[in-house]
Structure 1
Amino acid sequence: MVTLGATAALLAEAPASAAPPAGLKNLGDARQVIVVTGRSWTSTYSTVTAFQRTDQGRWIQTFAAMPARNGYGGWAWSASRVQDTGTTPAGTFTITQAFGVLADPGTRLSYRKVDGNDYWVGDQLDPRTYNLLQPSASAKRTWRTSEAERLAAYPTQYAHAAVIDFNRPAGVHWNEELGEFVADTPAHTSRGSAIFLHASGKGSTAGCVSVSRADVAALLRWLDPALRPRIVMAPASDLANA
């Protein structure tokens, strides 16, 4: 949880205002958008704002600006991001699922309450399971636990989290024999995995975006898959190109 002192520091570093969605290029048919922006490509402080489009096509800001943290390495365009650089991928992404160590706060997204057997895999030697949540560490699994995050080991940050669909695989299905999810079209194993909008820890992230636990829960309750939500992330100077 961000302290009052940390919140003041975040607001001091954050942009004065967020760009309205009308200036963004890649929203498609989205009627909900979360905008994450920072002052520069090297900044680890950012601001999160959220907007919803009315039936008349007008974008309305739905929450006050939220102080946030991003990757310790600043930002990198999603197409050129490299795993383990601590950069937050810049671009526009869908949001389709959520999880948390705590119970579902009331989101309409698909939500999994994780336990000690849940892992998020980032094993570069096993592309078919890369960047997937695995609900068990099966004895026949093909991925290494040393190359995966045991989600319950981060009860503060992963109290609640929305999955940002950066570098996600396609054609995902359950392999009964191996006891794991696999992808027909794997993600790019050099670009990184496990990019979430999650609750804040003590500082910057390894590439995710973090806001207070209360703010994550509020955003999850607001997000509606029927409104095809997207998240746009980039420094202020390049937000219109994200």
Structure 2
Amino acid sequence: MTINRPLVLIGAVVCAGVLGAGCGQQPQGTASDGTPAPGRTAPPPRSAHPAPPGSSVRAVPGLGPVMRARVPAAARQALVVRGTAEDTARAVAVLYERSPSHGWRVVAGPWPAHNGLRGWSDDHRAGDLRTPIGVFGLSDAGGRLPDPGTRLAYDHDPEFSVSGTGHLGEPLEGAFDYVVAVDYNRVPGTTPLDTTRPLGEDKGGGVWVHVDHDGPTNACISLHKDHMRSLLRALDPDKRPVVVMGPERALTM
């Protein structure tokens, strides 16, 4: 659905470089984490620990007791983004859904994804080029393109625009055609463009799931455009969707 945007501060600190903490504009050739050289794309990781298609389990697959305990009891959708290692920028995303009678099952994915240039952090700071580890709500969406049919509140706005190049020299244009705000250091129930930071500016913000531009981000998660459309159409606010994200080590604790 499309929302009427509240009055918000729309400035220079939203998601990627031009707009803030996500898919940023940095000098080319800065990747030192095994990310492929400009113009080349490594094959996606093979495993995201999904349950076999059609099967169901009582707990979200592949999570250890610590991370599993952080998933709210009310959550019935979970996008699990699993990084290959703590200091790498490639990941795999799988969308799970839970029913009272059948438990958790895969409903979409696995999808290749990118995360922050320098990997992951359990103490994310503005500008550290790492994606925060944890479990966060997915409550608001938006984009430069019209609502593709999501049930989340959707802010269709030309402010979702970005230009220039990313960390590998790849063009960033179109990266914000579709976005879902990750409820890290933000106010749920507002447009993703809202720059309010409840934990303070030093803790970063503007972390989104957005369209992949074939390179690592500043802190966001990025998915192929078709997968973003699928995600938006699948997410249902009545199912209290969350994203569970981090490297293998953190997710299996």
Whether TM exceeds 0.5 here: the answer is yes
How many residues of Structure 1 are paired with residues of Structure 2 in the alignment? Answer: 191
Please report how far the alpha carbon of residue 30 of structure 1 lies from its aligned counterpart in structure 2 after TM superposition.
0.1
1:201 and 1:171, CA in 2 relative to 1: closer, same or farther beyond 3 A? Answer: closer
1:71 and 1:225, CA in 2 relative to 1: closer, same or farther beyond 3 A? Answer: same
Note if 1:217 corresponds to 2:235.
no
Note if 1:168 corresponds to 2:211.
no
Q: Distance in 2 between matches of 1:153 and 1:198?
A: 12
Give 1:49's match in structure 2, choosing from 94, 119, 133.
Answer: 94
Match of 2:202 in 1: 190
Match of 1:152 in 2: 161
1:157 and 1:112, CA in 2 relative to 1: closer, same or farther beyond 3 A? Answer: same
The 5 Å alignment of 1:77-88 reads 77=122, 80-88=123-131
Q: Distance in 2 between matches of 1:35 and 1:227?
A: 15
Match of 2:116 in 1: 71
Contact 2:162–2:175 (CA<8 Å) still a contact in 1?
Answer: no
Q: Distance in 2 between matches of 1:53 and 1:95?
A: 16
The 5 Å alignment of 1:24-39 reads 24-28=68-72, 29-39=74-84
1:170 and 1:194, CA in 2 relative to 1: closer, same or farther beyond 3 A? Answer: closer
Indicate the RMSD between aligned Cα atoms, in angstroms.
Answer: 2.5
Other structure's SS at 2:134 match: strand
Letter in 1 for 2:162: A
Other structure's SS at 2:202 match: coil
Q: Distance in 1 between matches of 2:194 and 2:218?
A: 24
Other structure's SS at 2:148 match: coil
Other structure's SS at 2:49 match: coil
Other structure's SS at 2:133 match: strand
Q: Which structure shows the higher helix fraction?
A: 1
Q: TM-score, normalised by structure 2?
A: 0.69
Letter in 2 for 1:224: D
Contact 2:98–2:105 (CA<8 Å) still a contact in 1?
Answer: yes
Note if 1:233 corresponds to 2:245.
yes
Note if 1:96 corresponds to 2:139.
yes
Structure 1 segments unaligned to the other structure (5+ residues): 119-150, 173-179
Q: Distance in 2 between matches of 1:182 and 1:39?
A: 30
Q: Distance in 2 between matches of 1:224 and 1:181?
A: 21
Q: Which structure shows the higher strand fraction?
A: 1
Q: Distance in 2 between matches of 1:108 and 1:171?
A: 13
Q: Distance in 2 between matches of 1:51 and 1:16?
A: 12
Please report how far the alpha carbon of residue 57 of structure 1 lies from its aligned counterpart in structure 2 after TM superposition.
4.8
1:10 and 1:89, CA in 2 relative to 1: closer, same or farther beyond 3 A? Answer: farther
Match of 1:21 in 2: 60
Q: Distance in 1 between matches of 2:179 and 2:115?
A: 14
Percent of counterpart pairs with the same letter? 28
Please report how far the alpha carbon of residue 238 of structure 1 lies from its aligned counterpart in structure 2 after TM superposition.
1.2
1:18 and 1:103, CA in 2 relative to 1: closer, same or farther beyond 3 A? Answer: same
